[in-house]
Chains A and B, each alone.
Chain A
Amino acid sequence: MSDKDATETSAVTEAAPILKDGNCESAEKPENKSQPVASTRKRPETNPSRDLEASQIPAQVPQDAAKETVSKDAPQTGWGYWGSWGKSLLSSASATVATVGQGISNVIEKAETSLGIPSPTEISTEVKQAAGETNASENESSPVAGPFGMLSTISTAVQSTGKSVISGGLDALEFIGKKTMDVIAEGDPGFKRTKGLMTRSTLSQVLREVKDKEEQSPSNEVTMETDKKTHYGLLFDEFQGLSHLEALEMLSRESEIKVKSILSSLSGEELQTTRLELEQLKEAFSLAEFCEDEEEERQGDEEFTKEITELFAQLHVSSRPEKLARARNTAYEWIRTSLARPVTEKEEGEKQLETENTEEVKRSSIEDIHAFAIRSLAELTACSIELFHKTAALVLHGQKQEVTALERSQMLSQLTVMLCKDLGSLSKEFTTCLTTAGVREKADVLNPLITAVFLEASNSASYIQDAFQLLLPVLQISLIESKTESPRGEPPAQNLLTEH
């Protein structure tokens, strides 16, 4: 691995380790060097024709995808890109995998080195051969359960392309995301319901139906207990996320109806100004694109708690984010302890004594990490949505405060970004945990778990962003009401309600 001689590739390496290998070992892709490098951390824009190609000719994907990553400029990336509710879950899911890929490159790199995976060139030929065997292995089921219960499908896809995951890094993951969504689109009835999102059926409906189905499906009878521990949807419901989401949707819907009816009763100049102000509010709700800064460290526990508490104080709602902060800090604490453990084991040289036993311990521990990761993500998401729900209730029915709807929107937007970023770093840490604990695991054991964590993290982020969007009508009605309650003719800037 002597990548130092290829100066131009050094920037590429970080984002896509696979390129590094490609360059230093075979230098067979000279075109890479001339490409702009800055965009590699970002998700390439979706290219439908490539998707099609990819799903049809899986064997070519590692190479194709690698090229795409470097050559495509992708201005619209980050969590924010797929956040809006209008977007189909399809795009969010694939974006998900890619976003997550920013972090996974490191993980993959580790996994790659530790697993002694051959170079991509070797792989690509192997993959071609393996493509024939794919069908045979597709029936293997994996213990991973996902949101919408679709991860079993996903993991199958991961398995069947297992080798390219490791070799292709984030590009392969992205491919898997797409491949998976194709698979789901074709075969999973749950996904068809999910697709209903495009026709504006509510998120909670979709989630509830899928969860109910999961709970009641007789095929899960035997594995119910183990599945439950890693089933995001069930856990999310257990933490009351679904109920809070439904409650928030209800408030959002009611507000939306009110806004419409008020707008239809206005006319002339009044209508114009109101429209203008509502438009400003809406802008605050279009999440600014937030790419994760390369060097940005995750926030420390106190830092996070402090920032989120401050944001909430500025919101002037009496609801407090302590529950969320506690859950979040507990998760990080768990990771710290978990990361500390395997190292000590190695130092003590126990592996020489009882190899089989140690392996036993480690195997159960990657499953533990995975289960805890999914659980934490579900809990944090539920807590976040609960906070949004409470915020909505208080904005609508709380004491009037010295803060405008616009200011609140901006703070909520900030909060959303903060929460999603934090979920991103949390999932990275969980996967670091997984790779550390599973150094000696086979790729087809470790990879589905890593993919599952990233997938659920991105799902989590998209639920949070959805919940955030549901607050728009709530703040709109609060803005309109604050106008009608204050004396006419004053400029909006003075419409702060100081007393009540």
Chain B
Amino acid sequence: MEAIWLYQFRLIVIGDSTVGKSCLIRRFTEGRFAQVSDPTVGVDFFSRLVEIEPGKRIKLQIWDTAGQERFRSITRAYYRNSVGGLLLFDITNRRSFQNVHEWLEETKVHVQPYQIVFVLVGHKCDLDTQRQVTRHEAEKLAAAYGMKYIETSARDAINVEKAFTDLTRDIYELVKRGEISIQEGWEGVKSGFVPNVVHSSEEVIKSERRCLC
């Protein structure tokens, strides 16, 4: 019964142009790495099932956004319905790290009245020799915003699974504790279909969602 999942989470992937958002997602959803890829136009869509505990699956709908400024008006529209996000920068590109702050400000404005659980991702960690951002400073920045930090490489398939599943687990915990709840008119978290199992009670209790960012 592969098609059955407990919840569906919508995740958004943001960050400067060319930091490798699409490559990371493709590695995660298709298991492939493309040496050459076109810049994303507007927004792209991917999905994958993740097993967070034996028998407990979550369907991830992943929104891949264009990093290019000209598509910003399109990508902005997608913050609101996301429960989680991966904020990427390129460890070999200092500028993309400096822009992390702006990305967070941008989301803050557009996600209202909801919140997004973010993880900060230092991408292209296979290119360690060209590193311009140290792990230490990235961790510091992440901590300042209450985010986790992880370094990944789509090319060498390092930490790609972990980045997505850790985030999914964190969101799942929040859902279980009732800190995030399914709401009418909000697409971030949706209930899936579980055969012969009564949905856990947390869905019924509506409580305030806490921001992790």
Contacts and interface: CB of A to CB of B under 8 A. Distances in A.
Nearest to B2: A225
A247 B76 CA distance: 12
A244 B45 contact: yes
Nearest to A227: B3
Contact of B46 (A225, A240, A318, A396): A240
A240 B47 contact: yes
A216 interface: yes
B1 A224 contact: yes
Scoring B4, B41, B71, B193 by chain A CB atoms within 10 A of each residue's CB, the highest score goes to: B41
A228 to B, nearest CB: 5
Contacts of B41: 318-319, 390, 393-394, 398
A393 B42 contact: yes
A498 to B, nearest CB: 19
B182 interface: no
Interface in B175-201: 192-193, 195-196
Contact of B38 (A216, A224, A251, A318): A318
Nearest to A238: B47
A82 B24 CA distance: 42
Interface in B118-132: none
A50 B2 CA distance: 46
B77 A250 contact: yes
Given A216-B193, A393-B74, A397-B74, A228 B42 contact: no
Nearest to B66: A393
Contacts of A250: 77
Contacts of A394: 41
Contacts of B193: 215-218
- At the interface, is chain A mostly helix, strand, loop or mixed? helix
Contacts of B35: none
Interface in B43-81: 43-47, 61, 70-71, 73-74, 77
Contacts of A43: none
Given A218-B193, A250-B77, A251-B74, A240 B45 contact: yes
Given A218-B193, A319-B41, A228 B46 contact: no
Interface residues on B, range: 20 to 34
Interface in B72-94: 73-74, 77
A251 B4 CA distance: 32
B195 A218 contact: yes
B3 A228 contact: yes
A321 to B, nearest CB: 13
A230 to B, nearest CB: 13
A221 interface: yes
A397 B42 CA distance: 9
Contacts of A389: 42
Nearest to B71: A397
Given A215-B193, A225-B3, A318-B38, A393 B71 contact: yes
Contacts of A221: 195-196
A215 B193 CA distance: 7
Contacts of A397: 42, 70-71, 73-74
B99 to A, nearest CB: 20
Nearest to B43: A247
Interface string A290-327: 00000000000000000000000000001110000000
A88 interface: no
A60 interface: no
Contacts of A393: 41-43, 71, 74
18 contacts: A215-B192, A215-B193, A216-B192, A217-B193, A218-B193, A224-B1, A224-B3, A225-B1, A240-B46, A240-B47, A243-B45, A244-B45, A247-B42, A247-B45, A393-B43, A393-B71, A394-B41, A397-B71
Top 7 nearest A-B pairs (CB, nearest first) are A393-B42, A243-B45, A240-B45, A216-B193, A397-B70, A390-B41, A393-B41
Interface of B: 1-4, 38, 41-47, 61, 70-71, 73-74, 77, 192-193, 195-196
Given A216-B192, A320-B38, 19 more contacts: A221-B195, A221-B196, A224-B1, A225-B1, A228-B3, A240-B45, A243-B45, A243-B61, A244-B45, A247-B43, A251-B42, A251-B74, A393-B42, A394-B41, A396-B74, A397-B70, A397-B71, A398-B41, A398-B70
